[in-house]
Amino acid sequence: MQAVNRNILIISNMGPKSSAPFQGKFVHNQVWALASLHPAYHYMRWHSDSLLNKILKYPVFLLDFFWRYILSRRRFDIVHVHFFYPTIWLALLYKALRHRQVKIIVTCHGSDIYKYQPPGKLYRWCAAKVDQWIFASKALARHFSLPAPRSMVLPAGISELFRQVEPLNWQQKSIDILYVGSLDHNKGMDRLLALLPVVADKKVVIAGAGPWLEKLQTAARQYPNVLVVGPKDSAALKQLYSQARCFISLSRHEAFGLVMAEAMACYTPVIATETDGALEQLVTGENGILVAQQDEEQHLLSLFSQALMQFFLQSTQQYQQMQLQCRVSAEQYMLGQVVLELQQLYQDILE
């Protein structure tokens, strides 16, 4: 890989903030795993929930980029953008001012496509400048309505920490239902709140941060079976996943859902609403259960409740078989494999 050594710039508009300290961690992990290539990494360092930050974070992000990389002596041959729009403008600025032959790679994560349908004129113009597209899932690639002559499907990858996991059987586990992720409307936190009375006899653990945190903490005081533990690092999540009998995802939109892959890597089946990410990873009855999205929320909640009931009625043998299939499903998404494919891509695009 010497041909691509020391000439890669990775840009991400994601970064940690107080309400989401692990936001963008999957991109961070990918950059760390690419350390042998010595990539430069520009991400949103100034990030918070304040009104001032919401107004000025992108101008500051741009000025920081200009100072660090446009005025730098170091020249890059590849700019890899995570989250296409509006992050792509930084790559285009670099191309215009520093290196007109630079190759631009874009990884689309979900809402950078979902939120721009149909794509506007500027979005289309920027898309035409991309040399290589990477989509987090096959379904996300199908949602992209513009020409993408060079494209591939590749998730961000889950930490190699999850490769070393010992399976626990049903009796050894202490958590019935686990949720990990952002605590917001898109992730279905209103749905989770509505389900709590249905699972009052189950131990429920919720890990994450976001705008619905306070509401969930209030609910936890009403339901003694519910524990809200806040955001956790990968090592702590590994323990939670291993201790959970099932992992749930109630998302409205999910391009891939790496937390589902993490759970399955820890031999934990997933019950999820049908999203692009869930359809990419789950097969009902093999490594989890898919619940179809419904126009009526009450109907969806009824179906999800039935899926949970079905799950907890299965035999020990059925559960063990599902656990093994979960692990097989998740191994392809380990970060080591993803990085090998990225390194080959970087090599190919320069050649």
Report the distance separating Cα 102 and Cα 76, nearest Å: 7
| Backbone φ, ψ for residue 10 (5° rounding) | -110, 130
Instruction: Name the β-bridge partners of 78.
Output: 8, 103
pLDDT at 214: 95
* Close Cβ partners of 306 (under 8 Å, ≥ 6 residues apart): none
pLDDT at 6: 57
DSSP string, 77-120: SEEEEES-TTTHHHHHHHHHHT-TT-EEEEEE-SHHHHTTSS--
Report the distance separating Cα 311 and Cα 327, nearest Å: 18
Q: Is residue 292 classed exposed, middle or buried when 0-12, 13-18 and 19+ CB atoms within 10 A define those classes?
A: exposed
pTM of this structure: 0.89
Report the distance separating Cα 349 and Cα 351, nearest Å: 5
Q: Is 344 helix (H, G, I), strand (E, B) or coil?
A: helix
Q: Spell out the domains of the chain, with CATH numbers in brackets.
A: 2-157+334-350 (3.40.50.2000), 160-331 (3.40.50.2000)
CB neighbours (10 Å) of residue 220? 18
Report the distance separating Cα 133 and Cα 56, nearest Å: 29
pLDDT at 4: 47
| 106-121 per-residue burial string, b: 16 or more CB within 10 A, e: under 16 | bbbbbebbbebeebee
Nearest of 111, 58, 67, 64 to residue 87 by alpha carbon? 58
**CB 175 within 8 Å of CB 240:** yes
pLDDT at 185: 96
**CB 169 within 8 Å of CB 144:** no
Residues of the chain with pLDDT under 70: 1-6
- Tracing tokens 């950078």 back to the chain, one arrives at 112
pLDDT at 47: 85
pLDDT at 50: 87
